[in-house]
Structure 1
């Protein structure tokens, strides 16, 4: 029997700093909920809106896989390994903090806000050499189907994560129906609805709702409206 946990959008933690308006699915910074510390090895899922020209100054990380997915706007990245990049809609960025690095993230626009997902996953191997990767994915490849954008294979078309995890995006039309088959026994799936309405294993979810499912081999997906969906398959321990 599968296990489910549902996090409705309006139950997320919220912090508005003026320059940053952030919603936290899991405990983060001043938002602390002992029942929302993580889903398996998925530690952070932040829905961040950054004001024009503003951002996060240089700060350190270690031993964490940090994924950024822009939903609108552009984000400028700089880190201590020498990377200086801009990520845009349809890009996915990953940074393996490994043995330690510093980085900064700023809105690349002086006029428009940027909305992006900041996601942290505990790593498989500790203290690896810090690394950075980003890739632009063709949105046509997720029209009414599921497009893998993050995975554990270094030579695949998706970007590589130091973990037995897979991230999948879908731009789904009303009536779309498919079963997602998990890649690895013991993993779970956390579904996050970016837009529209979706049924996940019979549970109705709306924009920015999240749902974690574990102890299962398949997850059923049905689009109740045109929808944008992110699936994160994650080891549970």
Structure 2
């Protein structure tokens, strides 16, 4: 088993006033040659956007992009004609493919919005751009993982899909609950990030927003160390 620890305190940080952003991997003005990616996982940004502010229209191509709001209201507009608001408990998946433009704004002028923006390298380039959004019950369900995203051709996928052999899952657990996660494809690694509370993952104690990358293993053991502890698991190819 190989592990890589990503302490929350070691992340890149940019505060633009309207945007307070923390980067697990190299992004924008933050560059760390040891923090480029974890397998096909390229970007994990933890963003807080002030009321009424946001990212103006900008382009993407050949990237699978997942947005997970933690609180607040995130308004999305894109060149495919979508205008949507994403809220806590919902997840958005976008395949940039041959190229799209989009904007993301805080739809609430009085309160901030907090969300994860996550990029995964695709297994197929120059696909037709696409958008999907769905509400999940990972906030209500306890002590079980809820699958959010999986590969397009996975017949057992219970979430949305992307152009990569990657699986996203989220779960909220009571203190003391132990469970195991098995990578869904041989050779995949697991990026485990604590969203709320504390966990022990593969023997490593993790606090709020800490993460652990685990590879070269058939199973990852996890224990919730606090009540209402929430964790995000991203199961991705290490070679792609």
Q: Which of the five TM-score ranges fits, normalised by the shorter chain?
A: over 0.9
Contact 2:138 2:170 in 1 (8 A): no
TM-score (norm 2): 0.96
Which residue of 225, 234, 237 corresponds with 1:235?
A: 237
Instruction: Give 1:142 deviation, angstroms.
Output: 3.6
Partner of 1:165: 166
Paired residue secondary structure (2:31): coil
Contact 1:141 1:147 in 2 (8 A): no
| Aligned counterparts, 1:1-237, within 5 A | 2-139=1-138, 142-153=141-152, 156-226=157-227, 227-237=229-239
Structure 2 Cα separation of the partners of residues 139 and 117 of structure 1:
15
RMSD: 1.0
Contact 1:70 1:90 in 2 (8 A): yes
Instruction: Give 1:157 deviation, angstroms.
Output: 3.1
Paired residue secondary structure (1:18): coil
Paired residue secondary structure (2:9): helix
Contact 2:39 2:189 in 1 (8 A): yes
TM-score (norm 1): 0.97
Contact 1:142 1:169 in 2 (8 A): no
Contact 1:199 1:222 in 2 (8 A): yes
- 1:192/1:140 CA distance change after superposition, 3 Å: closer
**How many residues matched?**
236
Structure 1 Cα separation of the partners of residues 45 and 63 of structure 2:
15
Paired residue secondary structure (1:139): coil
Instruction: Give 1:181 deviation, angstroms.
Output: 1.0
- 1:147/1:41 CA distance change after superposition, 3 Å: same
Structure 2 Cα separation of the partners of residues 152 and 86 of structure 1:
24
Structure 2 Cα separation of the partners of residues 42 and 96 of structure 1:
14
Instruction: Give 1:139 deviation, angstroms.
Output: 3.0
Structure 2 Cα separation of the partners of residues 105 and 62 of structure 1:
16
Structure 2 Cα separation of the partners of residues 140 and 56 of structure 1:
27
Instruction: Give 1:138 deviation, angstroms.
Output: 1.5
Residue ranges of structure 2 left out of the alignment (5+ in a row): none
